[in-house]
Amino acid sequence: MRPQAEPGLVSVVMPARNEEALVAEAIESVLAQTYERFELIVVDDVSEDRTGAIAAGFAGVRVIRRESQGGVAGARNSGLAVARGQYWTTLDADDVMPPERLERQVAFLEKNPSLGLVLGLTEAFCTPGEPRPRHWNPAWDEGVFPACAGTTMGRRELLDQVGPFDERLIQSSDVDWLARGKDLGVEAGRIDEVCLRYRIHPGNMSADHREGSMVLLRVLRESLHRRRERSVAR
């Protein structure tokens, strides 16, 4: 059972595995938020480097170490299980959160009580001085883009309504979660502000286009199945 929710608090869950080179920048971007009512939970997914130690060196950051590797979905679930926020979001340990993200998304949800979650815009970037990897999408050169699952901020009650992230999925478990929410009738809004700086580098899980395509096809297939079942039940 999750802890009792604290009004106005945002829980930021950061799954991290072997990210010692980047996790500090990700943490610093959360600590630099203009919205001060947040908790940061870093879930160390059995890292073999100093990821956990680096995270633990930041005051006020809660670090959870999993006993066995469960992937991004499992790490997100572990963090959300102990989250105390009225709102929640996730941030991968190789990405960066713009300083006004939490403030803007909380304000939007408070002004739109009928909406269960809010997304925003995403900006792709490479670490300065590093070459673009092969999976860089030329479309990213055109500027920010909408609807990236990594920009999601949701209300706490959705975690029970939609359920946990699917730990069977190696990647795109956040896309699957959003699809399940949509099929349940969860309404989402969007702000036209950058809510995520998505780092593109050789280690991105999304670099495996074949696996990503297979997962997305599975998500679509299961969504269609749910909708058909719901239609028959009516």
pLDDT of residue 209: 58
Phi, psi angle pair for 159, to nearest 5°: -65, -30
Res. 225: pLDDT tops 90: no
What residues have CB less than 8 Å from 187, skipping those under 6 apart? 114, 115, 116
Give the pLDDT of residue 210.
65
More confident residue, 83 or 229: 83
Given a cut of 70, whether residue 102 has pLDDT beyond it is: yes
Largest CA distance in the chain: 57
Give 11's contacts (C-beta < 8 A, 6+ positions apart).
Answer: 38, 39, 41, 79, 80, 83, 84, 85, 87, 88, 89
Q: What is the pLDDT of residue 233?
A: 65
Mean pLDDT for 21-41 is: 98
CA–CA separation, 102 vs 232, rounded Å?
A: 40
How much of the chain, in percent, has pLDDT values that exceed 70? 91
pLDDT tops 60 at residue 63? yes
pLDDT digits (tens, 9 = 90+) for 171-220: 889 999 999 999 999 999 999 999 999 999 887 766 555 665 676 777 77
pTM confidence score = 0.90
Per-residue pLDDT tens over the stretch 105-146? 999 999 999 999 999 999 999 999 888 888 888 888 899 999
Q: Which CATH architecture has domain 6-233?
A: Alpha-Beta Complex (3.90)
Residue corresponding to tokens 């680096």? 54
Residue 52 has pLDDT above 90, yes or no: yes
